[in-house]
């Protein structure tokens, strides 16, 4: 990730500025970072996650949101997950109509340039969202999905899934890992 602005911004300045931009930027601790375009494989996996999650959560009172949905962290930072699921009524940050506060499931497709951030600071921010029950990391390099799931006591469990496995979310929705990755390696990736 590289800074998109040579100066620091407040969260209010960022939101006003971001709404006028043609490309997306994340906001972390007063700094603005441009979102790089994904590889074809990244885009396919993101799209397939949206399709699979949309189908799996239909009828459970949940809706699927794409990578254009901005999410606010408790810390005041703003991110764009590759996919997010909201169950029940979406809650927006006060005085906004485009900043989600309550994702239930978040998916990040890992890339060379963002993997450390997705596993580090971004994951720390997601953990502070009381609504979040499932954090899903999807590899571009191999058929490998990492699933963090919140227990009723607030702790997180971790599971790695591979070909032939099934991802089971906290709300009971399931996704076959093979369906998620079908045809993915026919496209160039960020390996």
Domains of the chain and any CATH numbers: 1-35 (no CATH), 38-186 (3.90.1570.10)
Q: Given this model, what pLDDT does residue 7 score? A: 62
Per-residue pLDDT of the chain (191 residues; tens, 9 = 90+): 444 454 688 999 999 998 998 888 889 888 888 877 789 999 999 999 999 999 999 999 999 999 999 999 998 999 999 999 999 999 999 999 999 999 999 999 999 988 999 999 999 999 999 999 999 999 999 999 999 999 999 999 999 999 999 999 999 999 999 999 999 999 999 86
pTM above 0.85, yes or no: yes
Q: Given this model, what pLDDT does residue 2 score? A: 42
Q: Given this model, what pLDDT does residue 18 score? A: 87
Could you tell me the end-to-end alpha-carbon distance of the chain, in angstroms, rounded to an integer?
A: 17
Which contacts (CB < 8 Å, 24+ apart) does range 49-53 have?
49/82, 49/83, 49/107, 49/109, 49/136, 49/138, 49/180, 50/83, 52/175, 52/176, 52/179, 52/180, 53/83, 53/85, 53/105, 53/107, 53/173, 53/175
41 in Cβ contact with 189 (< 8 Å): yes
Q: Compute CA 117 distance to the chain's CA centroid, rounded to the nearest angstrom.
A: 12
Q: Given this model, what pLDDT does residue 6 score? A: 47
Q: How far apart are CA 70 and CA 90, in angstroms?
A: 12
158 in Cβ contact with 107 (< 8 Å): no
Partners of 2 in the β-ladder: 34
Q: How far apart are CA 168 and CA 10, in angstroms?
A: 39
């Amino acid at each position: 990730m590289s800074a998109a602005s040579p100066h620091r911004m407040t969260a209010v300045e960022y939101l006003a500025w971001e709404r006028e931009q043609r490309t997306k930027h994340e906001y972390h601790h007063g700094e603005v970072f441009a979102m790089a375009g994904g590889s074809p494989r990244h885009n396919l996996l993101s799209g397939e996650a949206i399709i699979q999650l949309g189908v799996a959560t239909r009828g459970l009172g949940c809706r699927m949101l794409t990578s254009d949905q901005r999410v606010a962290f408790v810390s005041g930072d703003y991110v764009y997950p590759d996919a997010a699921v909201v169950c029940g009524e979406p809650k927006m940050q006060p005085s906004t109509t485009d900043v989600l506060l309550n994702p239930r499931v978040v998916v990040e497709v890992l890339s060379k340039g963002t993997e450390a951030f997705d596993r580090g600071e971004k994951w720390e921010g997601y953990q502070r969202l009381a609504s979040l029950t499932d954090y899903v990391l999807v590899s571009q390099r191999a058929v490998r999905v990492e699933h963090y799931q919140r227990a009723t006591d607030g702790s997180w469990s971790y599971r790695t899934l591979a070909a032939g496995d099934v991802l089971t979310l906290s709300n009971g929705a399931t996704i076959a890992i093979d369906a998620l990755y079908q045809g993915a390696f026919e496209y160039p990736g960020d390996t």
